[in-house]
Amino acid sequence: IVMARLTRACPISPRQRGFIRASGCSENLWLLQLVVKHAKREHCELGVVFVDIAKAFDTICHQHIITGLVQRGVDPHVIHLVSEMYRNISTYIN
């Protein structure tokens, strides 16, 4: 429910594969295979770049995320839920 409401207020790229209902990685791999096969068949040069923005939210102040949601007009209840996810968080490794 939260994801559906956030998606309406903050549209994501159609290539986004994290945190959505989709085949994800397999679809991206299929697309890459298709491009490589085409380049080989047509004897074209091909350059591929992989961009990994893993841990992107670790580098952003959580308050900036909340401010962005407010600016986008996200429902206050959803903003409260997201805020609560970031309050007093910690990680323990056993």
What digits encode the pLDDT tens for the residues 53-66? 566 666 778 888 89
Instruction: Say whether both 43 and 56 belong to one domain.
Output: no
C-beta of residue 74 within 8 angstroms of C-beta of residue 5: yes
Share of the chain above pLDDT 90, in %: 19
> In terms of domains, do 57 and 78 share one?
yes
Copy the structure tokens of residue 46.
């091909």
Q: What is the reported pTM? A: 0.49
7 and 44 fall within a common domain: yes
Note down the domain range covering 9.
Answer: 1-48
- Cα–Cα separations (whole angstroms), residue 1 to 51, 75, 78, 82: 29, 12, 9, 12
Claim to verify: residue 10 and residue 30 sit in the same structural domain: yes
Considering the domain architecture, whether residues 1 and 44 belong to the same structural domain is answered as yes
Residues 56 and 25 grouped into a single domain: no
Residues 61 and 85 in one domain: yes
